[in-house]
């Protein structure tokens, strides 16, 4: 079990748990971050910038601090 922020580029994983306060949780789930959903990391911006994540048909960018709230298991 590791965090989304620790994944390598191109790696696929399945969301195992989301540990976030209510406002962040709502936003994440509205964008498709739900337990059991598969995702993959497309790219990471330079200088410790945001992650580009693909979930199903949606591409999302998010910062490392938010990605560290999402636990994933590698498929």
Residue 31 · residue 58 · CB < 8 Å:
yes
Residue 42 is inside which H or E element, if any? strand 38-44
- CB closer to another protein, 1 vs 47: 47
Q: How many residues bind another protein (CB under 8 A)?
A: 29
Site for another protein in 9-68 (CB under 8 A): 22-24, 26-32, 34, 42-43, 45-50, 52, 56-63, 66
- Helix (H) / strand (E) element for 9: namely none
| Cβ atoms of residues 12 and 39 within 8 Å | yes
* Residues near another protein, by CB under 8 A: 22-24, 26-32, 34, 42-43, 45-50, 52, 56-63, 66
């Amino acid at each position: 079990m590791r965090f989304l922020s620790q994944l390598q580029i191109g790696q696929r994983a399945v969301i195992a748990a989301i540990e976030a306060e209510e406002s962040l949780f709502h936003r994440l789930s509205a964008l498709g971050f739900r337990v059991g959903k598969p995702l993959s990391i497309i790219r990471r911006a330079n200088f410790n910038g945001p992650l580009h994540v693909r979930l199903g048909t949606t591409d999302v960018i998010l910062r490392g601090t938010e990605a560290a709230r999402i636990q994933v298991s590698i498929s």
